[in-house]
Structure 1
Amino acid sequence: MYLRILKKDLKRKRAMNVILLVFIILASMFMSSGVSNIITVLTALDSYFEMADVPDYWVVSENKSSGKDIYGTLENASAIDEFRIEEYVRVSQSNITRVGKPLNDSNANQILALQSDRDMGMNYFLDDESILRSVPKGEIYATRFIEKSMGLKVGDKITVEIEGVSHEFTFAGSFRDAVCGTELIGIKRFIMNSEEFDEYMSDETMKNMYGGKFLYIHTADLDKTLSQIADVSDSFTFASGTDTLSQAYIFNMIIMGLILAVSLILIIISFAVLRFTIAFTLSEEFREIGVMKAIGIRNIKIRGLYLTKYFAISVVGAALGLMLSYPFGKMLISYSSESIIIDSSNNGFVNIACAVLTAAVILLFCLSCTGRVSKMSPIDAVRNGQTGERFRKKGVMSLGKSRLGATAFLAANDIVSSPKRYAVIAFTFFLCMSLLIMLSNVTASLKSGKLLKYFGNADCHAVVDIGDEAVKFMTVDGHEKVKKYLDDMEQTLAENDMPAECMTEYYIYTMIRYGEQESKTAILQGTGTTMDMYEYLEGTPPQNSDEIAMTTLLAKKLGAEIGDTVIVSYPTGETAEFIITALYQAMVNQGISVRVHTDCDINYIAASGSPGTLIKFTDDPNDKEVLSRIEKIEELYPKLSSAKTAGETVKDNTGVGDAIDAVKKMSAVLTVILAALITVLMARSFIAKEQAEIALMKAIGIRNTKIYGQYTLRFFIAAATAVLLAELLGMPITKLCFDPIFRTMGLEMGVEYMRNPVEIYAVFPVIVLTATAVSAFLTSLYTRKIKSSDTASIE
């Protein structure tokens, strides 16, 4: 008997059962892929570092600023379990050409380092995730993000010429570099054959001036190790532990965080809709339940019948969802795996467990909902599911007092009369819309020039890379040379009707001490700037050469405050005392940096680099004019490696703007699909339940078009309410989700988020409301099948 009843039920309510099956499939797919992705995301970086054999401490040391016996010190440090050394030679963009032309690097302000395949200090992974063991003569590999920024393709011919030594290489592909694999580290590595590398290093001047070492230290006691190598640490250009290194992947982790958020939202939506659907479907089956009770079938048997039905549907849906979860999960993860190897191969059991859990949760929903069966009686089948008693008004609206038309009134009254029913719709649309707005805000921010100040730079219109000049300024009198260069550029620009202020920054990595506490830090010094061009959180900008501004993160680390005196030890062996006058925030060196006065006398021989020349046009041109001037600057300075707007510079520095944009587009597509499915499901359910009311409206002469309008309008109102709420809460939600991420980079006050008004106030609302309205209207056409005579029918 059970099988006969189930078979007839599945046939008779085919549309509702199919819709329910679709949402069970979606719930299983979202649950399985979402939980699997969450586990993968939370463990991805640690797993990647372990596969790559990332050291506990990583150091960059330049030969020109290191006159100490680093090797001997490391050899004698008992706390070090193992250390490895890779030699490199630093080159500029102009040293590398393709078919006789400079490479067009979209982020040319970073360090280019050539190194050999001999004694590699860690595992470098090729595109097929195999480990790079050696490089044949005549071939060269590059860090993965170089391939994109320089426009390289496998098979391209590259010429590397340094101090008269020249070789032509075939670009063999890219590799993932766990230590220097992100734009924030700012080091682009090329790996070549050791014999060819030795030819470049044979020149002693080149080796001493542009050579350096990457040191990889493995230790179980990092604090003891640091104390044992303290006498050479001031010669380190840059040093990082795994915790600090993890922060360099912060923007990559933002992508993973977004994938996690998308997965969670999809899981919440799917289960919220499922809960409503199961409860609603059972509530409308008063006839069947009443008849079964009338013929003597007990409550437990009736509940068992529905549990059997939903068990069958949930098993089929969960199985199909499980199969779809694998490609769907991989599609989501693919957006965040550009720089990181993500191993999700061991999550198969998680997918299966989540699919089983989905089916179990659905049965629990069903068990909870079927509890109402015991309260139903055979008379419910006669009274159309109602007891006939009501002690309150059905709605809060009055037709006589309303100025709305009949269609608008009926739609609005339906919503206020059954707020729980439409709250599910509004809630799901609110989640989808909030996700889109959040993604839009983050994408706009990571592509905006306003974010440039958080990289320790003054506000500007354009950034140009000065190519070989950057290295030439890293000398004893480099500061004076930089001033002259900027003055000459300002004069040239003014002569070509582009009045501007030209500025630059130079970074020097060194040690800073306050009392018993010390830390590795980056010194920032601007040239061509004034100290009030930068943003400060507390205090006053440095006014004299013995005053300094410090990041809040470094101040906390040292236990220092405004007014305290700190000691800076330069890589050259010199020391200097500075008074802290202000606190600021910046992402340079993972939030650990200080800013000295522009007149401070610093030996630039220990400088590590510059973000380029910042150009601020004094006549405030519009965006179109800025682009035109950038083209003109490229003509005036043909040796420039790159020239771009401030927004393009931020986009290249973060390296994830395009990936977030891709996630945003994917989320927009999912939102349209979900909006359509949810609307169809709800509308079809309401039509089935309200058959008698629709028949009555037709009996009193209300036309089909009015009924279509009523059903479409009430879904539109619910969706519009959700969209409006999401618009109001979009920025607070963005801050809530992303401020903690930026705080890990030293931005304790968060960032100034940008908006894309066209997307937020036009594109996203239009696609959500259009998908809802079209789906509701098309579903409402089903009411044509209902006749006025159906008012007297309980079938």
Structure 2
Amino acid sequence: MNWLIVKNDFKRNKIMNIALLLFMMFSACLTVLSVIMAAQTITSISNLYGTAQPPHFLQMHKGKIDQEQIDDFMLGYSGITYFQTIKMINVYGEDITVVNDGKTFNLSDIRLDIGLVKQNEEKDLLLNAKHEKVELQEGEIGVPVILKGMHPIEIGDKIILNSNGISMEFVVTEFILDAQMNSTMASSTRFLLSDVDYGKIEDSVGENEYLIEAYFKDTSEASNFQTAYENANLPQNGQGVTYAMIFILSALTDIVTVFVMLLVSLLLIIVSFICVRFTIMASLEEEIREIGTMKAIGIPFLNIRNIYLNKYRLLAVLGVIMGYILAFFMSGIFTNHISTTFGNMKISNLAVILSLVVGFIVYFLIIVYCKGVLKKLKRVTVVDALTMGNGFDKDSKSIRDGLYKSKALPVNWLLGTREVFYEFKNWIIIYAVLIIAVLMILIPVNLLNTFESPEFITYMGSSVEDILIEVENGERLEEGYEKVRSVLKNDRSIKYFWEYRRVRVNTYDSDDEQMNLYIDCGINSGNQLKYLSGAAPKKENEIAISYFNADKIRKNPGDKIVLIFDGNQKEFVISGVYQDVTSGGFTAKSTYNFYGLDSEKYSFSVNLKDEANIEKKAKEWSEILGVGITVDPMEDFINQTLGGVSRQLKIIVISTAVVGISIAVIITVLFLKLRLAKDLSEIAVLKAIGFFERDIQQQYMIKTGVVSIMGILSGILLNNLIGGKIVNTALSIAGIGIREVQLISNSFVEFVLCPVILMGWILIVTAILMKTIKKYNIISIINE
């Protein structure tokens, strides 16, 4: 009997049941996809790392080294299982020319340091897409896969190296996976050469940079080792990197993608709940007399509830199963970036198990929600149901007439708006769905705007200026600094510039163990950054520390910190805690100059009088200053550093916008179909008393339009109130050095484009749907 009831209901309400099934399916699909992406990101990186074996600690160094001194230190440090020193030949982008189908271009616009290496024997291996160790023949070259998304490089293309009067031609035979340098947020990238070709150019081209690598039984030992290594005065003219930092940089792009997809799937589940509630209540209202009859003959509440619940159980089962299957069919599209970056991996067992668990959770949530809605059956009494046909709105007040206001408002507008305001609950589904559609569109759009904005540089430890100049660490550091300073002082196009130098001092963490602290000093140091608490340092005895450092040493603004440098100790007051994703998130800012300490890096932030000349001036300075000094317009610096994240996020933003608009349109169509069916008698009465079809159409257009405007405005308001909080919660969980961001909105998209597109589509489908009123026959409706 239950099956017969469900079958008849499906026949009677085909469109609504199909719509419900689709929403359940898509919400389950996106939730499962999010879990698959998260699981694949973790397992793919883990599998890549298991084969490639990137270092647990890496110290990059430009200049000469004493290998014997390094070996002695490594052998004397307990816990080390393996260590090696790799020589990398650094060349410049303009030295590398790519010939692609007749097109020729160089890599001069890449801000990453380009290193030429040969394959290692055991660890830190460069792999192909199948996670196999790449072995090249003479004349072949392996190109880092991250460059594939930045330039149109394909297998079979020619790469020509011209450096120090030496010219060599190579054929691209592999895109290599580099476990430790596979992100645009890394400072370098590596091209792989055969041993023969590497031997031909070794010590003849470019500049040597050494990768000093160490491995431990426990990867968490890397942080303590870094402090010991740096304090031993071993080679360190370059970035020091730990295993945790390598992992976070590798996963950043996919972490952001997973977050957006999870957000969209949660919003879709909410839409499904709204639709379920609407259809359940519509069904109960239609069958109120039948419900009263069942109660009158003694059928218990649970039995009556199960008659209706069986349909939603069936829909939920079908929706989750179909969504699960669809998710696996679509997973190839959404995990393409993971496959490209970390290798072609099959869906892991972890992804399958977690997706099954999540699918069950979605089903469970839908059924629990349905049971909650169906509790309303308890409120229905036999008398109300059979005599008045009203069991759910017993407490509803009579609608105030308001027709006396018709002199101030046209009748159609009056009839349309009075129903919206006096019977708002009848239209709440469109209102709620439009709020969700707006959130689905605006939160990802604002997140993308934030990543692409020049202001994002403040989360990378720098102030917002026009041009960023960095003097690379090396033997000619001081010479490069003087050269840059001289050029900037004599250039009249500059409005002002700030200079900073990075030094290393010692302090103590929360366990009273000595740790290194990297401080950027300068008059303007710390200004314009985003502070979680406190402010930039103003006095010489003040210091601002990054969020990760504050967490490590357990200090807050106002607390004192003792810094050890040059054989002395000096007490500083922490002025503020800021956010930084550079250098692993462990940095500090101070106006104190730390006289006597060697500089590890110099940087300059420059503002020009004429912003139109930024690109031109950056190129001019780059040519004057030459090698060893990078000059980047701030916008280009952001684009290249976060380019991978932005490209992936753009795809998701477009997809979620289309989904959001589609949901709003589909729900509006389904709602209006049900509404028109329910309002047949009212429409007949309106026609009978002299209203034309165009009047009735206009009234429904007004009702839909007013509710839509209210929903869109509420969505924009809610986005501004909670959008940032949602993003910040995800960032805190991700642990990338940023806990709070101020989302940067695009006013045109938020207040013009999004509302106009949503309103336009809704009014169009409403107008099309209202044409069906012409088919209504007054006499037949009244007879019914």
TM-score by length of 2: 0.82
Counterpart for residue 459 of structure 2: 454
Structure 2 vs 1, CA of residues 463 and 153 (structure 1 numbering), >3 Å: closer, same or farther? Answer: farther
Say whether residues 1:551 and 2:546 are aligned partners.
yes
Structure 1 Cα separation of the partners of residues 288 and 587 of structure 2: 70
Cα deviation 1:422-477 (Å, max 9, x = unaligned)? 33332222122123222222222222222223323343223478xxxx55x7336x
Give, in angstroms, the shift of residue 117 of structure 1. Answer: 0.9
For the residue of structure 2 that corresponds to 1:148, the secondary structure is coil
Q: Which residue of 1 aligns with 2:412?
A: 407
Query: Residues 206-355 of structure 1: matches in 2 within 5 Å?
Result: 210-220=208-218, 222-223=220-221, 226=224, 230=228, 234-235=233-234, 236=236, 237-248=238-249, 249-250=251-252, 252-286=254-288, 306=308, 317-334=319-336, 339-340=341-342, 344-346=347-349, 347-348=351-352
Change (3 A) 1:371 1:741: closer
Whether contact under 8 Å (1:144, 1:176) holds in the other structure is yes
Contact between 1:143 and 1:176, CA under 8 Å: does it hold in 2?
Answer: yes
Matched, 1:696 2:681: no
Residue in 1 that maps onto 2:19: 22
Contact 1:524 1:594 in 2 (8 A): yes
Q: Tell me: CA distance 1:756–1:397, structure 2 relative to 1, closer, same or farther (3 Å).
A: farther
Match of 1:35 among 32, 36, 41: 32
**Counterparts of 2:246 and 2:295, CA distance in 1:** 68
Name structure 2 gaps, 5 residues minimum.
none
Q: 1:728 to 1:392 in 2, by over 3 A?
A: closer
**Residue 93 and residue 488 in structure 1: after superposition, are their counterparts in 2 closer, same or farther (change >3 A)?**
same
From 691, 694, 697, give the equivalent of 1:705. Answer: 694
Deviates more, 1:269-278 or 1:549-558: 549-558
Displacement after TM superposition at 1:212 (Å)? 0.4
> What percentage of residue pairs aligned between the two structures are identical?
18
TM-fit CA distance, 1:183: 2.4
* Counterpart amino acid of residue 92 in structure 1: Y
Give the structure 2 partner of residue 647 of structure 1.
635
Q: Quote the Cα distance in structure 1 between the aligned partners of 2:390 and 2:402.
A: 23
Written as runs of structure 1 = structure 2, the 5 A alignment for 1:306-705 is 306=308, 317-334=319-336, 339-340=341-342, 344-346=347-349, 347-348=351-352, 385-386=389-390, 393-395=397-399, 398-401=402-405, 403-463=408-468, 470=471, 474-475=474-475, 478-479=477-478, 481-488=480-487, 491=490, 494=492, 498-501=493-496, 510=504, 512-514=506-508, 516-524=512-520, 531=525, 535=529, 538=534, 541=537, 550-551=545-546, 553-558=548-553, 564-568=561-565, 580=572, 582-583=575-576, 585=578, 586-595=580-589, 607=600, 614-618=605-609, 620-621=610-611, 626=614, 645-655=633-643, 656-705=645-694
> CA shift at 1:672, angstroms?
1.2
Distance 2:118 2:686 in 1: 82
Task: Give the AA of the match of 2:720.
Answer: M
- State the alpha-carbon separation in 2 of the partners of residues 184 and 730 from structure 1: 29
Question: Aligned to 1:776, which of 750, 762, 766?
Answer: 766
Query: What is the one-letter code of the residue matched to 2:56?
Result: Y
Deviations 1:204-255 (A, max 9, x none): xx89x72302414131374499469925665344444443334434454222
User: Does the 8 Å contact 1:51/1:123 carry over to 2?
Assistant: no
Amino acid at match of 1:37: S
Does structure 1 residue 738 correspond to structure 2 residue 739?
A: no
Q: What is the CA deviation profile of residues 280-335 of structure 1, one whole-angstrom value per residue up to 9, with x for unaligned ones?
A: 23422346667889999998887666556556655555554443333345444446
Q: How does 1:178-197 map to 2 (within 5 A)?
A: 178-197=179-198
Q: In structure 1, list runs of 5 or more residues that go unmatched.
A: 569-573
Identify if the C-alpha distance between structure 1 residues 763 and 103 changes in structure 2 by more than 3 Å, giving closer, same or farther: same
After superposing the two structures, state which structure 1 stretch, 558-567 or 268-277, moved more.
558-567
Q: What's the CA shift string for 1:112-142, capped at 9, x where partnerless?
A: 222211225245453x443333223222223
- Deviation of 1:617 after TM superposition, in Å, equals 0.8
Q: Output the CA distance in 2 between the equivalents of 1:150 and 1:224.
A: 35
What amino acid sits opposite 2:769 in the alignment?
Answer: T
Paired residues, number = 760
Q: 1:404 to 1:71 in 2, by over 3 A?
A: farther
Q: Tell me the distance in 2 between the aligned counterparts of 1:125 and 1:414.
A: 66
Distance change in 2, residues 1:220/1:482 (3 Å) = closer
Distance 2:380 2:730 in 1: 53
Query: SS of 1:400's equivalent?
Result: helix
Supply the distance in 2 between the matched residues of 1:370 and 1:481 (Cα, whole angstroms).
75
Instruction: Say if 2:241 and 2:584, in contact at 8 Å, map to a contact too.
Output: no
Report the Cα distance in structure 1 between the residues aligned to 2:7 and 2:691, rounded to whole angstroms: 37
Match of 2:58 in 1: 59
Worse-superposed segment, 223-232 or 65-74: 223-232
CA distance in 2, matches of 1:48, 1:357: 27
Shift of 1:650: 1.6
1:103 partner amino acid:
N
Q: Indicate the SS of the match to 2:73.
A: helix
Give the secondary structure class of the aligned counterpart of 1:210.
Answer: strand
Aligned residue for 1:81? 81
- 1:786 corresponds in structure 2 to 776
Give the Å deviation of 1:148: 3.1
Q: Aligned partner of 2:49: which letter? A: A
* C-alpha distance in structure 2 between counterparts of 1:391 and 1:368, whole Å: 20
SS at match of 2:148: helix
CA gap of 1:310–1:499, structure 2 versus 1, over 3 A, is closer
Cα distance in 2 between the residues matched to 1:279 and 1:336: 44
Amino acid at match of 2:461: G
Q: Structure 1 residue 678: deviation in Å?
A: 0.8
| Deviation larger for 218-227 or 136-145 | 218-227
Which residue matches 1:758?
A: 748
What corresponds to 2:118 in structure 1?
A: 116
CA distance in structure 1 between the partners assigned to 2:62 and 2:630 by the alignment: 28
Q: Do the aligned partners of 2:54 and 2:125 also contact (CA within 8 Å) in 1?
A: no
- Report what 2:92 is aligned to: 92
Distance 1:362 1:448 in 2: 40
Q: Equivalent residue for 1:139? A: 140
Shift of 1:264: 1.6
Task: Quote the Cα distance in structure 2 between the aligned partners of 1:629 and 1:81.
Answer: 49
Amino acid in structure 2 at the alignment position of 1:394? S
Structure 1 residues 414, 24: closer, same or farther in 2, change over 3 A?
same
| TM-score normalised by L of structure 1 | 0.81
